[in-house]
Amino acid sequence: MNKRLIWNFEINDQPQLVLDSLPQGEKESIKWEARYFWPEDSIIILNGLDSSFLNLSNYEIKNRQDYYLLLSDYDYNIKQRRDELQYKPLLQEIDNIRGYGKKIDLNLYTSNSLPAALHSTIGLLSQLQEKAIKLSVSKIALLYRFQTTPAIKLELARLKVHEKIFFSVCIEGPSQLLVTQIAKYLLPDQISCDYVSFLRQLFTP
């Protein structure tokens, strides 16, 4: 029987996720993400979670206000958060699970000193100012830390994108093996998607 967790999220403990049964993963320098999105009227069922996940005191709550910048010719994950212009470099992708490097504040660079991954993009900073579509994304997120080695986090989020409501789940951490295993257990029939691809479906630059 499903139990309501929060918003449109429900849990079902059958079959129960047993963390000790998962293979131990090595801690990597990359942060891996399995991320999913749904429209406002969807009911999202997370499999394998017992009633302890209903206790919201086990979660860290975060509020974010970001502005994603989409360019028609590039898939860069770039957003403005407070005073930073954050670029999150995609380093690897395995079975739709994406591995990212550390975020880079592009405000610290000039057009002639961009990070290596952006060297091929002529005039990127001016393009961001002149051509990018800027999308407001407000997020309320609940973060749960699984007792795994290395630690993997579960994020449940309510998003507001240009006055429309969406929901999101993200399983993230420095182990591709563990992120993949937990994601397949919780959401076996879903296909992971990144923020840029999700926003492009709503607004094509």
Give the model's pLDDT for residue 119: 53
CA 103 to chain centre: 13
Indicate whether 21 belongs to any domain.
no
pLDDT tens digits for range 14-69: 888 888 888 877 899 999 999 999 999 999 999 999 999 999 999 999 999 999 99
d(CA 176, CA 27): 9
Task: Tell me which residue range forms the domain holding 196.
Answer: 3-16+27-202
Give the model's pLDDT for residue 118: 60
Indicate whether 48 belongs to any domain.
yes
Q: What is the CATH number of the domain that holds 90?
A: 2.40.320
Indicate whether 175 belongs to any domain.
yes
End-to-end CA distance of the chain: 43
User: Could you give the number of structural domains in the chain?
Assistant: 1
Indicate whether 53 belongs to any domain.
yes
Neighbours of 44 (CB within 10 A): 20
pLDDT tens digits for range 72-96: 888 889 999 988 889 899 999 999 9
pLDDT tens digits for range 93-126: 999 999 999 998 888 876 566 666 665 554 677 7
Give the model's pLDDT for residue 75: 86
Indicate whether 12 belongs to any domain.
yes
Indicate whether 194 belongs to any domain.
yes
d(CA 185, CA 118): 36
Length of the chain in residues, anyone? 205
Q: What is the pTM of this model?
A: 0.90
Query: Which residues, including other chains, have CB under 8 Å from residue 95's CB and lie 6 or more apart?
Result: 180
d(CA 105, CA 86): 5
pLDDT tens digits for range 168-201: 999 999 999 999 999 999 999 999 999 999 999 8
Residue 162's pLDDT band (cuts 50, 70, 90): confident
Indicate whether 22 belongs to any domain.
no
Indicate whether 118 belongs to any domain.
yes
